Structure 1
Amino acid sequence: MCGLLALVRDPALPVTEDMVEAVAGASHLMRHRGPDEPGTWSDDRVVLGFNRLSIIDIAHSHQPLRWGPPEEPDRYVLVFNGEIYNYVELRTQLRSEFGAVFATDGDGEAIVAAYHHWGTTALSRLRGMFAFALWDTKNQELFCARDPFGIKPLFMATGPGGTAVGSEKKCLLGLAVEVGINLAIEERALQHYTVLQYVPEPETLHRGIRRLESGCHAVIRPGQQPKVTRYFVPKFGAAAFTSGGAQARYDEITAVLEDSVAKHMRADVTVGAFLSGGIDSTAIAALAIRHNPRLITFTTGFEREGFSEVDVAVASAEAIGARHVAKVVSQAEFVAALPEIVWYLDEPVADPALVPLFFIAREARKHVKVVLSGEGADELFGGYTIYREPLSLKGFDYLPRPLRKSLGRASRPLPEGMRGKSLLHRGSLTLEERYYGNARSFSDEQLRAVLPGFDPSWTHTDITAAIYAESAGWDPVARMQHIDLFTWLRGDILVKADKMTMANSLELRVPFLDPEVFAVASRLPHDQKITRTTTKYALRRALEPIVPAHVLNRAKLGFPVPIRHWLRAGELMDWAYGMIDASQAGHLVDIAAVRAMLDAHRAGEGDHSRRLWTVLIFMLWHAIFVERSIVPTISEPQYPVQL
């Protein structure tokens, strides 16, 4: 787990010592991703920068990493963020088939050798999380790729000075002059953020910086625009289970999870696990302790009754035999950490759960260097309650389309909160019209009141239309899962997981998001995912022998955050008023409208907490990255190199 930076210069512009120093300086902005070992490499066309968090083959596998076949030694130079969990098997296969020779015992050389011998098809052989940039000195091109689900990030920017790619956007901002990046705010991306609570890929809030999307690779040649290709298209229901009955299906889920966790435990440092009160993290921890009987688990909660998973997590840890560490966060700590957290994020993400994740990662890093977590189970196995909506709306499917639209029009004058209003409205819409992904903060009417530049032509369909087209003919639950893989999962869940753990130099691994696990989950019929009474039906059945009974059918909570209460009184409310009054983003956000919303929330006139939080986090982002009126104090705890 590391941070990479690469700059491919325009052919008319030479690589100078000043340029190498500029890349090294920009790379230093993400030293938290890899405090163990910095490094740079350059030739006359490219500069590579790297920060290493040593996890596998600690004494070797230094980066930038040189590798080549015997006839072309040192042909390739790699900078790589992530882990390849099947690297041992890949190295064995490459030796057997091609006589590949390796100078290290790590996973980086496996990537380069696989690319050399198999080309871009090597990506489908990698079981892991990755974003990498591989310079081919012979062909003079930079090959970049991200893992299928987008666990690891990669930002890209092209300008008159060349193309830069990096693990964090702040590093590209550090090279803005050298590359010639357009730093104007992209208002369409801002509107999408305000609705969705995150900036959807491939957009960012800076017009000149984009993201390489999950499951894509790019070829960058000096003087040319990056050529991006999608190599992974997830498909649900492509092939059904053919034999063995229900129990065989559950046994297959169990077996593939056991295998994934076993491979995710590969490390030369101590591996722990995050543990909330839910089934997903508990299952991962219960499987992990088989490989490390001294497993330490971690959870967090708040100093407010009803907003802590600590007690349930403690009981779960006790049931599986793990040592448990809990971190309780006060409102004052929460508020004080916000500027630092948003600086680490690079892009605003309005999910309050990332704050406790930051604190639990900081606590965990005192004990371990790697943690496992349960992200991805909901998207793969059908874990969100919203996935049950097609069952509740099924009756509308039998009505003629004009009648459904009439029912929708009839619902408009009904008072907000009136029983049946929402059902009539949502039943009048098609799935494509009503489902944005697993989050929506603002309606169009609310958005128009807050964003002076509101444009009704910028809608969620900018993001979802092409994704829905890929899933035509699938059942509604599978289509919703497909949308969430490309929106909520990679836009919110994985961003906060990567950024908040890397902020603390902690590697987070997600065994559910494994290609082999996906291959099994994708074949489940909808009635093995969602029923009228539960979610993740098949997964729960498969995990019955593994997880404690008290969490098997427990409702999903995650890490609940009391912002609704805290925005009505105390330090967070005071911080919110101060942020609104000091904001210089009035050309992008209606300051008076936001203050009125906070006044109404404080007075108990409705719950506006999620919408407020969305705008407040943008204001804080704007103050840090645009106004420069807030300069966060970046605390850098000193951890030992190896734990």
Structure 2
Amino acid sequence: MCGIIAFDDPTVLDKEDTIEAMMEMIRHRGPNLEGGGHYINDEVALGFCRLSIIDLGGGGQPIYNEDGTIVITFNGEIYNFQALREELIAAGHIFKTKADTEVLLHGYEEWGMAGTLDRVRGMFAYLIYDENKKALFGARDFFGIKPLYYYQNGDTFIVGSEIKAFLKHPNFKKELNKKALKPYLMNQYNDLDETFFKNVYRFPAGHWFEFKDQKLDMHEYWDAKYDLNENRTEAETIDAIDKEVVDSIKLHNVADVPVGSFLSEGVDSSYVTTVLKPHEVFSVNFDNGPFDEASVARGLAEENGLNFNVETVDGDEAFNDFAEMQYHMDEPDANPSVIPLWYLCRLARKKVTVALSGEGADELFGGYVNYGMHTKKQVIRVFANSLHKLPRGVRYSLGRGIKHLPAFPGKVHLYTWTAKPSEYYVGEAFIYDPAQPTIFTSDQANGVLQSEFKNNLTVNGIYQKDFAKVETAEELKQMQYIDLHHFMLNDILQKADKISMAHSLELRVPFLDRKVAELANSIPSHMLLNPNGSKWVFRKAAEKHLPADFANRPKLGFPVPVKTWLREAKYCDRVRALFEEDWVADLFDQKKILQLLQDNFDEKIDGRRQIWVLYTFLLWYKMYFIDWEGTVKKYGHVQPDVAKLMASGKLV
């Protein structure tokens, strides 16, 4: 795993010093001193920081083609690279290394960008400069597992793995994207194409680009398609899921370094762990959390003869480290799961270089409560399932009527099974009350913001262009498509990459494989979501490897006790101190946010999610816009445990 950075800017005369300074900002992504480097000519500069995974001695970058006219830098893994390598050798290409990177380089020569991307399985962001065409090419993987950002302003074009590296370019203008703040408050992460930094954008997943003569052209090469297989039986579907999942996990185990896995008590990580059977597995819990997932996970690990590693986190440690977590995120992300992931990665890096995790199964196989599992009462589930069989027009009208009824048991469940998703669905921003559809409602968000940050953007409104692409698909598929392109892309996978790479750990996600996804997308909704529960056939496939009680456990993740923390005086006081800083008044109505904090502390309301999005943003803003130089001095380094490995010569 690595970090990549590049720029095209004719006004920068000292390209070497500039690219080196930018590389230093992402050194945590590739701390191996050997194997990193740069490529510079009159037009462009490319930089690379390496964390060795495949071909430890010979996989350094940049890598050149046979005549030195094409150069590549690559972040990620190509899991089927060995078969593609043999095909390219047969076509006459000469390989200098055994690394997967070179497959992309020679693949570009042989098949072009589109042809190469049609053949690969993996996670990646990579850049290719072609001297003959005087063009910079690049691509981001199917799901956006690996990040890739770009900045275009005047004659300056920058592209790379992390935004913080951009800040070292002399022509980068650091400005806050003011329109991003309001939807962030509603959604806990920034879901716009433009990041919190003005003129910095995320490259879309499943796309490649060409940059030439100051012009950027993007091309889509993959997107989720929902061509349902109605002829396959449930038993055949279960067998097909298990085959593709097992094959993907085996591919994701290819490495020349130690591999482990994360393990909670949920079905996703348990499925991965029992198939992979790594020597080391890792879990985390909280000293005052509502659940102890680690004890259940320990039982599964011991049953399979695996070495179980667990870390218990307390509130003091979490609050002390939270600013550093947000520094590494580049943009504020108020998903509390950032916290347990930080400690999981720190724990895992002490013993392994690669870890497998269960991200993606919920989006692909229908696992979220918000897809329509808002009640445990079987009679309501069965009734809702029968209503769902009504013609769409009738059902949607019924849903609109249910929305405006007074509250009653099962209302939310009945509403979500009858309503049109594009009229209500807001993913994980939903907090189980149609009257309070997001963390902050649109009016509430505008109510706490200063005037220059107010706008009419809503979470559901941001989703409309993607709903339009799948309006004829089944309702569950519509919601899954939205989550693939929003919650998973801009929240789940962002934190998975940024937090793992902060610890110089490669995190692999075997469910997010194109073959697994294409199978999942072909499964009719009734096999995934029905009165029996969520992820139905997926859980049945998992039962081939897991005890039934593990395969059918409800989704918990690693629950974070934010509610408890914010009602403890010492933590509430830390939040209050930040809310009271003078510069906060330029962004928010301080009186209102301080009252929100106090009302939550006094247990008059449950405002934890609202407070947490505010606190997260303000911590991030203070680091990046109030005290950037101090932030870099404090956090701009590899983690202490990684530094010790480097010093001892044991970093692999």
- TM-based fold match above 0.5: yes
The 2-side partners of 1:536 and 1:280 are apart by 10
Q: CA deviation at 1:428?
A: 8.9
Trace 1:228-627 onto structure 2 (pairs within 5 A). Answer: 228-236=218-226, 238-240=227-229, 242-243=231-232, 245-289=233-277, 292=278, 295-388=279-372, 392=384, 394=387, 399=394, 405=400, 408=403, 410-411=404-405, 430-439=420-429, 440-453=438-451, 455=454, 457-582=456-581, 584-627=583-626
> Which residue of 103, 111, 123 corresponds with 1:118?
111
Q: SS state of the match for residue 585, structure 2?
A: coil
**Cα distance in 2 for residues equivalent to 1:305 and 1:582:** 30
> Equivalent residue for 1:212?
203
Which amino acid in 1 is paired with 2:443? E
Alignment partner of 1:153 is 2:147: yes
Partner of 1:94 in structure 2?
88
Deviates more, 1:425-434 or 1:464-473: 425-434
1:355 corresponds to which letter in structure 2? I
Shift of the 315–550 alpha-carbon distance from structure 1 to 2, 3 Å rule, reads farther
CA contact 2:397–2:419 (8 Å) conserved in 1: no
Deviation for aligned residue 1:271: 0.3
The 1:474–1:9 alpha-carbon spacing in structure 2 relative to 1, beyond 3 Å, is same
1:225 aligns with 2:225: no
Q: Assess, with a 3 A threshold, how the Cα gap between structure 1 residues 45 and 253 changes in structure 2: closer, same or farther.
A: same
Mean Cα displacement is larger for which, 631-640 or 118-127?
631-640
Separation in 1, partners of 2:24, 2:483: 34
Question: What is the identity, as a one-letter code, of the residue corresponding to 2:351?
Answer: H
| CA distance in structure 2 between the partners assigned to 1:171 and 1:550 by the alignment | 46
Residue deviations 1:28-51 (CA, integer Å, cap 9, x gap): 011110000331220111111111
Structure 1 contact 353–559 (Cα < 8 Å) conserved: yes
Distance 1:125 1:338 in 2: 40
1:28 aligns with one of 18, 24, 30: 24
Could you report, residue by residue, the CA deviation over 1:309-367 in whole angstroms, capped at 9, with x for unpaired residues? 11011011112221110010111100110111111110011101111100110111000
1:420-478: CA deviation from partner (whole Å, max 9, x where unpaired) = 77579868963112102232421123212222346453223553112111112111111
Match of 2:46 among 45, 48, 58: 48
Question: How many corresponding residue pairs?
Answer: 619
Query: Conserved in 1, the CA contact under 8 Å of 2:228 and 2:524?
Result: no
Question: Residue 598 of structure 1: CA displacement?
Answer: 0.6
Q: Which moved more, 1:186-195 or 1:262-271?
A: 186-195
* C-alpha contact (below 8 Å) 2:245/2:516 kept by paired residues: yes
In structure 2, the gaps of 5 or more residues are 375-380, 430-437
Q: Residue 623 of structure 1: CA displacement? A: 0.3
Counterpart amino acid of residue 288 in structure 1: L
1:471–1:479 CA contact under 8 A, matched in 2: yes
Shift of 1:231: 1.6
- Listed one character per residue, the Cα deviations across residues 179-238 of structure 1 (whole Å, up to 9, x for unaligned) are x43x3322221122111111115220111211101111111124x1321222211112x1
Classify the secondary structure of the residue corresponding to 2:583.
Answer: coil
Question: Structure 2 counterpart of 1:228, which letter?
Answer: M
Are the structure 2 counterparts of residues 612 and 267 from structure 1 closer, same or farther at C-alpha, using a change threshold of 3 Å?
A: same
Report if the CA contact (8 A) 1:189-1:199 is conserved. yes
TM-superposition CA deviations, 1:3-37 (whole Å, max 9, x none): 00001124xx3x53x22111111110111100003
- After superposition, residues 176-195 of structure 1 pair within 5 angstroms as 177-178=170-171, 180-181=172-173, 183-195=174-186
Taking the aligned partners of 1:576 and 1:233, their CA distance within structure 2 comes to 41
| Mapped partners of 1:461, 1:533: distance in 2 | 29
Answering whether residue 137 of structure 2 is matched by residue 143 of structure 1, we say yes
Distance in 2 (alpha carbons) for counterparts of 1:47 and 1:574: 47
Q: Which amino acid aligns with 1:270?
A: P
Distance 1:398 1:234 in 2: 26
Structure 1 Cα separation of the partners of residues 161 and 286 of structure 2: 31
> Separation in 1 of the partners of 2:105 and 2:398?
59
Counterparts of 2:398 and 2:63 in 1: how far apart (Å)? 64
| Distance in 2 (alpha carbons) for counterparts of 1:542 and 1:229 | 36
Cα offset, 1:642, TM superposition: 4.2
Q: Distance in 2 between matches of 1:308 and 1:158?
A: 47
In structure 2, the partner of 1:4 is 4
Residues in 2 aligned to 1:354 and 1:583: alpha-carbon distance in whole angstroms = 28
Deviates more, 1:422-431 or 1:18-27: 422-431
Q: Distance in 2 between matches of 1:344 and 1:276?
A: 24
8 Å CA contact retained: 1:374, 1:510 = yes
Q: TM-score, normalised by structure 1?
A: 0.92
* CA displacement, residues 48-75 of structure 1 (integer Å, 9 cap, x when unaligned): 111100000010121111124xxxx112
Shift of residue 531 of structure 1?
A: 1.3
Query: Is the 1:584–1:623 Cα contact (8 Å) retained in structure 2?
Result: no
Give identity over the alignment, percent: 33
Q: Cα distance, 1:239 vs. partner?
A: 4.0
Q: Which one is further off, 52-61 or 386-395? A: 386-395
Q: Does 1:203 align with 2:202?
A: no
CA deviation after TM superposition for structure 1 residue 402, in Å: 6.9
Q: CA distance change for structure 1 residues 427 and 642 in 2, over 3 Å: closer, same or farther?
A: closer
State the Cα deviation string for residues 517-536 of structure 1 (Å, max 9, x = none). Answer: 11211111111111123111
Cα offset, 1:573, TM superposition: 1.6
SS in 2 for 1:142: strand
Write the distance in 2 (CA, Å) between the matches of 1:64 and 1:401.
55
Q: Alpha-carbon deviations, 1:274-293, whole Å to 9, x = none? A: 0011110011111111xx5x
**Correspondence for 1:65 among 63, 66, 89:** 63
2:464 corresponds to which letter in structure 1? A
**Secondary structure of 1:335's match?**
helix
2: CA distance, partners of 1:406 / 1:534: 25
Consecutive unaligned residues in structure 1, runs of 5 or more: none
Cα deviation digits, residues 570-602 of structure 1 (max 9, x gap): 442222111111262323222221111110100
Aligned partner of residue 285 in structure 2, secondary structure: strand
**Greater displacement, 530-539 / 382-391:** 382-391
Taking the aligned partners of 2:546 and 2:416, their CA distance within structure 1 comes to: 36
The letter of the residue matching 2:6 is A
Shift of 1:548: 3.1
- TM-score, length of structure 2 as denominator length: 0.90
SS of the equivalent of 1:445 reads helix
Residues in 2 aligned to 1:557 and 1:287: alpha-carbon distance in whole angstroms: 21
Q: C-alpha separation between the residues in 1 aligned to 2:398 and 2:246?
A: 50
Task: Give the distance between the partners of 1:496 and 1:583, measured in 2 at CA.
Answer: 30
User: In structure 1, the residue corresponding to 2:264 is in which secondary structure?
Assistant: coil
CA contact (8 A) 2:284 2:311 kept: yes
Contact 2:224/2:518 (<8 A) preserved: no
For 2:289 and 2:621, the matched residues in 1 are separated by 33
One-letter amino acid of the counterpart of residue 254, structure 1 = D
